[in-house]
Amino acid sequence: MSGIVQSNILRSSGVIAVSAAGLNWSDTIITGSTLTAVAGNGYWINTTSNTCTITLPSSAEKGDQIVFIDYLRTWGTNKIIIDSNGLNYQGNDDTYTVEYNTDGQSLNIVYSDATNGWIPLDDDASADEPVPPPTQKGIFAFGTTGSKVSMSNLVNSSGVIATDVSGVGTARSYIAATSYGTDKAIFGYGTTGSAVSMTNLVNNSGVVATDVSGVGTARFGICAAPYGVGLAIFGYGRTSGVSEVSMTNLVNNVGVVGTDVSGVGTARSQGIAVGYGTDKAIFGYGYAGGGSSLTNLCNNVGVVSADVTGVGTARYNLAATSYGGDKALFGYGYAGGEASMTNLVSNTGVVSTDVSGVGTTRSALGGVGYGGDKGIFAYGYNSGAVSMSNLVSNVGVVASDVTGVGTARYYLAGAGYSISA
């Protein structure tokens, strides 16, 4: 008598399961865009043609194991995405996205318990960093009607702007805003007639808090964006002495702003920043003695890189929004007159050439992501304050004007908040 003896484990439920030494390897090379994985199995994943989303079992017991192998070393081109299907993954719940994007990688995961869930035995930190779920809602706030204001307007997960909410905090314009802490927002800096540095936190229900004393150099015409996991950055701007600057201030995951970090790149103001690639940011355009189209990338630890030669029409007082889950869009602004062109930003931070504008030309508007993968531009200036909005699809296409809601104003800012629709 002959045969192969596999190692097995006895679960607490009484079921005998295959152990690490005896995985059942799939006879089929997985090439589809989805896979429903089964505990005790090993899979060869070929992502030559597409990304593959892998759904893990909805229930598991301690010691359950699954292995995935990059069959043709293509995960760097088309990643795999892990859906933990209601269970935790490395201690994070299943609202977090887990991606593996390294060529030639193998992933060997074992289920531990309800607290930590699935844990990689072969832990590649550069590839399995959890990605926070995208924000679903947005908020526009502050600005000027000719007089500084502090009211806000919430944006729901369908891109509908609500009526004015009475202002909280010091009325000011030329302000910046960004999400932080995965589901909250922060407005910071600006001018009341003089440059200021106070901030206002926004909770995950969209409620704006009172002023927090400023940290760092007071300035206006500043911009801000999220980076890393729950972190954010303010950068650039102009001081009350009418001097463009390039310093930055990092924001931790509880909304505390850090002291000035020496600037990198050309000092400028009235530009814009936006997140891209799920954990990085890009600063773009602005005013430096005239309109600029330079960009500066910010990596996932908050380090800003040197100038990248500009692409598209040089302009300032523009806005930006994320779209598609990991891409971004610069739009509108002032280029010798109000403009409406847009520039797409890839998930690697590459800015494209101008796309013909849609909607009313305007400057000094705001932009924010909504619904997890879409965006909206709203408010601004065109021969006076305006309040119309323009929705951005999940492929970066800007729609025509939507009748404005709320007080018409400009030099405001917008940010995403809430991971619940």
The 10s digit of each residue's pLDDT in 359-402 is 999 999 999 999 999 999 999 999 999 999 999 999 999 999 99
Q: Is it the case that residue 127 has pLDDT exceeding 50?
A: no
pLDDT of residue 5: 37
Q: Is residue 15 part of a domain?
A: yes
Q: Is residue 360 part of a domain?
A: yes
Instruction: Return the half-sphere exposure (C-beta side, CA atoms, 13 A cut-off) of residue 166.
Output: 1
Q: Which of these three, 120, 155, 188, is where a domain ends?
A: 120
Q: Average pLDDT over the chain, rounded to whole?
A: 92
Q: List the beta bridge partners of residue 238.
A: 220, 244
Q: Are 234 and 176 in contact (CB under 8 A)?
A: yes
Mark whether 158 and 194 lie in a shared domain.
Answer: yes
pLDDT tens digits, 297-327: 999 999 999 999 989 999 999 999 999 999 9
Q: What share of the chain has pLDDT > 90, as a percent?
A: 84
Of the two residues 237 and 27, the one the predictor is more confident about is 237
Q: Are 315 and 297 in contact (CB under 8 A)?
A: no
Q: Is residue 3 part of a domain?
A: no
What range does the domain containing 49 cover? 8-120
Q: Which two tokens stand for residue 69?
A: 């192998």
pLDDT tens digits, 204-223: 999 999 999 989 999 999 99
Mark whether 100 and 153 lie in a shared domain.
Answer: no
Q: Is residue 48 part of a domain?
A: yes
For the segment 144-148, the average pLDDT, to the nearest whole number, is: 98
pLDDT-derived band at 94, boundaries 50, 70, 90 = confident
pLDDT of residue 4: 37
End-to-end CA distance of the chain: 61
Mark whether 190 and 113 lie in a shared domain.
Answer: no
Mark whether 395 and 329 lie in a shared domain.
Answer: yes
pLDDT of residue 242: 78
Mark whether 158 and 94 lie in a shared domain.
Answer: no
Mark whether 114 and 158 lie in a shared domain.
Answer: no
Q: Which of these three, 74, 90, 120, is where a domain ends?
A: 120
Mark whether 182 and 208 lie in a shared domain.
Answer: yes
Q: Is residue 128 part of a domain?
A: no
Mark whether 257 and 390 lie in a shared domain.
Answer: yes
Q: Are 40 and 23 in contact (CB under 8 A)?
A: yes
For the segment 176-205, the average pLDDT, to the nearest whole number, is: 97
Listed as own residue / partner, the contacts of 82-87 with beta carbons closer than 8 Å and 24 or more positions apart are 82/54, 82/56, 83/53, 83/54, 83/55, 83/56, 84/56, 84/117, 84/118, 85/55, 85/56, 85/57, 85/58, 86/58, 87/56, 87/57, 87/58, 87/59, 87/60, 87/111, 87/114, 87/117, 87/118
Q: Is it the case that residue 231 has pLDDT exceeding 60?
A: yes
For the segment 97-114, the average pLDDT, to the nearest whole number, is: 91
**Phi and psi torsions of 206, nearest 5°:** 85, 15
Which of 15-24, 127-136, 148-157, 224-233 is the least confident region? 15-24
Q: At 105, which CATH number?
A: 2.60.120
pLDDT-derived band at 16, boundaries 50, 70, 90 = very low
Q: Are 12 and 61 in contact (CB under 8 A)?
A: yes
Mark whether 185 and 232 lie in a shared domain.
Answer: yes
Mark whether 280 and 311 lie in a shared domain.
Answer: yes
pLDDT-derived band at 104, boundaries 50, 70, 90 = confident
Q: At 209, which CATH number?
A: 2.120.10.80
Mark whether 46 and 77 lie in a shared domain.
Answer: yes
pLDDT of residue 132: 74
The total of structural domains in the chain comes to 2
Q: Is residue 404 part of a domain?
A: yes
pLDDT of residue 3: 38
Amino acid symbol at 271 = G
Of the two residues 13 and 173, the one the predictor is more confident about is 173
Listed as own residue / partner, the contacts of 387-394 with beta carbons closer than 8 Å and 24 or more positions apart are 388/359, 388/360, 389/159, 389/161, 390/358, 390/359, 391/159, 392/321, 392/323, 392/329, 392/331, 393/323, 394/323, 394/324, 394/325
Distance CA 198, CA 210 (A): 10
Q: Are 208 and 152 in contact (CB under 8 A)?
A: yes
Q: Which of these three, 120, 151, 179, is where a domain ends?
A: 120
Q: Is it the case that residue 333 has pLDDT exceeding 80?
A: yes
Mark whether 256 and 381 lie in a shared domain.
Answer: yes
Q: If residue 280 lies in a helix (H) or strand (E), which one and from where to where?
A: strand 280-287
Q: Is residue 300 part of a domain?
A: yes
pLDDT of residue 129: 56
pLDDT of residue 130: 63
Q: Is residue 357 part of a domain?
A: yes
Q: How far is CA 59 from the centre of its chain?
A: 30
pLDDT tens digits, 173-188: 999 999 999 999 999 9
